[in-house]
Chains A and B, each alone.
Chain A
Amino acid sequence: MFDDGRLGMTGKYALRFVSLGYLAVLLVAPVSYVFWKTFEHGFGPAWEAVTTPNAVHALKVTLILTAVAVPANTIFGVLCALAIVRHRFPGAGIVNAVVDLPLALSPVVVGLALLLLYGREGWLGGHGVVFALPGMALATIFVSLPFVVREVVPVLREIGTEQEQAAATLGASAVQTFRRVTWPAIRWAVAYGVVLTTARALGEFGAVSVVSGRLAGETETLTLHVQDRYQSFDEVGAYASAVVLALIAVTTLILMTRLKPKEETQ
């Protein structure tokens, strides 16, 4: 494209500088700062901060919510993607649009909606949903719903229906076709969707904040605990819990990349 070549080199370095600089300022700097603040006074205080009963309980709540939301949204997500791509039914377009709603709505609005619907005065209210784990699970599921669907839909579109038809003419039932033909084609999209869902579920703040009631040691998740500690001027406690969150997310990501075989070429 460039006759001169030097211009090409300049362009290449400029591109690298801009993209790496952007990542450094917006991602690496704040995260590094959190890590640094956590271990500023050594490992001891940080460990103490994350092993207080409230911090441990908050971690447990976060893990429970994630363990509920991720499998639910994975199964629903795959079924929903299959319905959107493979079946022509009235309202498929609406379903496709509604799936994106959690991305567009502010989580606080979601929390408020759940509060109004399931709260003491709500239509379906009064049965220990709000200010308890069920409500928080609903909020977490809601906000982390789109990811698996969004990852799987384009892959299903791309692989088309011919392989599935071929499997059918060779005698495979719908279940056998899904297991042997469709699933192997979409599993990495599902895995990536699961990672995104997990990250979202771990990090959710707004919606859960509204429906939880924020009772330390009861309905406090790790993200809520971080804010609680920060507002109580316990900086080490806040940063240390943030580091725990970051470590869980990074571990998920590493596990996923580890599971994925190196050659996944078309």
Chain B
Amino acid sequence: MIEARGIVKRFGDFTALDGISVEVPTGSLTALLGPSGSGKSTLLRVIAGLEHPDEGQIILEGEDVTRVAPQSRGVGFVFQHYAAFKHMTVWENVAFGLRIRRRPRAEVKQRVTELLDLVQLARLGDRYPAQLSGGQRQRMGLARALAVDPKVLLLDEPFGALDARVRKELRLWLRRLHDETHTTTVIVTHDQEEAMEVADRVVVMNAGAIEQTAAPRELYDHPANEFVMSFVGPVNRLGDAFIRPHDVELLLEPNGSTQEAMVERLVHLGFEVRVELVRDDGEHLSAQLTREQVEALELQRGQIVYVRPTRQTVFTAS
């Protein structure tokens, strides 16, 4: 288990982490999710020992490592921009940690071969990082981090520099890898879809503090506050109520509880259609419908419809 207790980290006048406490259970895959500047990367770097907290403790598997150097923490770290050793081949990159530990040559060879197989780079062992694609470089980064059997694996926006398609592929691949290895893993991301897809638990951070910690579904269905509600998915606001676009029903006739709106734009996204609406008071909202529903209603641009929320969330002021 990774435990952070009351972590405070300041950079000059800026408080990056404002008394954070969080627990990451052994064997879990936990995402730190938040906008940029929320402190999620700083927290990860504090766990790795790459930053020293001004206050608080880091406990790894029951051992207080707050004053322990990153070399001795037994963490694997994967960087957003790969941090590949440019002058070493893929093979040498992956072997680095083992060679530093002076492991016997045969063991190094066996382990590196295994890992290159695992990350599907077996045939590229003698290439240099500059000759690899971004996705391949990041898989090399992962193999390099895993080579030393880390107690915990820390990934800092690992897919952030990759294009959308490769990112999705690697996400799935990371999830499968975790299901095989069960290494305690923390992944930092600003992409809510990535967090929801890959992690068992999501820690939502904002302005150096934790807003909510929950399983992805729980987070989506029962967000703790406005920030989480609007960060983990698209949201409409009607008065005090927050409504997800798929919880908006469109009717052609008014009925007591409905509100009038005009169809401003129809965005076809394959099976789904996003209907962008504007109310007479100028408020914008969007509804997510299936293609059949849109066809049944014969929706047109400029048409007047009546909006009814099927499910809404109201947060009581705390």
- Where the two chains meet, the residues of A that have a C-beta atom closer than 8 Å to any C-beta of B are 159, 162-163, 165-173, 176, 180-181, 184-185, 265-266
Contact = CB atoms under 8 A, between A and B. Distances in A.
A162 B40 CA distance: 18
A165 B77 contact: yes
A171 B148 contact: yes
Contact of B50 (A165, A173, A265): A165
Contacts of B148: 170-171
20 contacts: A162-B81, A162-B83, A163-B83, A163-B84, A165-B70, A165-B77, A165-B79, A166-B77, A166-B144, A167-B85, A168-B71, A169-B49, A169-B75, A169-B145, A170-B100, A170-B147, A171-B101, A171-B148, A265-B130, A266-B130
Interface string B220-247: 0000000000000000000000000000
Given A165-B77, A168-B50, A185 B70 contact: no
Given A162-B79, A176-B100, A169 B87 contact: no
Interface of B: 48-50, 69-73, 75-77, 79, 81, 83-87, 96-97, 100-101, 130, 141, 144-145, 147-148
Nearest to B101: A171
B294 to A, nearest CB: 48
B143 to A, nearest CB: 12
B2 to A, nearest CB: 15
A181 B87 CA distance: 8
A231 to B, nearest CB: 51
B100 A171 contact: yes
> Which are the 10 A-B pairs with shortest beta-carbon distances?
A170-B97, A162-B83, A166-B83, A169-B77, A184-B87, A168-B70, A171-B100, A172-B100, A171-B71, A169-B70
A166 B137 CA distance: 14
Contacts of B75: 169
A16 to B, nearest CB: 32
Contact of B86 (A168, A173, A176, A185): A185
A171 B73 CA distance: 9
Contacts of A169: 48-50, 70-71, 73, 75-77, 145
Given A165-B79, A168-B69, A266-B130, 17 more contacts: A163-B83, A167-B96, A167-B100, A169-B49, A169-B50, A169-B75, A170-B148, A171-B72, A171-B97, A171-B101, A172-B71, A173-B71, A180-B85, A180-B96, A180-B100, A185-B86, A185-B87
Contacts of B73: 169
A163 B79 CA distance: 9
A252 to B, nearest CB: 24
B47 to A, nearest CB: 11
Nearest to B82: A162
A180 B69 CA distance: 19
Nearest to B131: A265
A86 to B, nearest CB: 14
A212 to B, nearest CB: 43
Contacts of B85: 163, 166-167, 180-181
Contacts of A159: 86
A170 B79 CA distance: 13
Contacts of A170: 96-97, 100, 144-145, 147-148
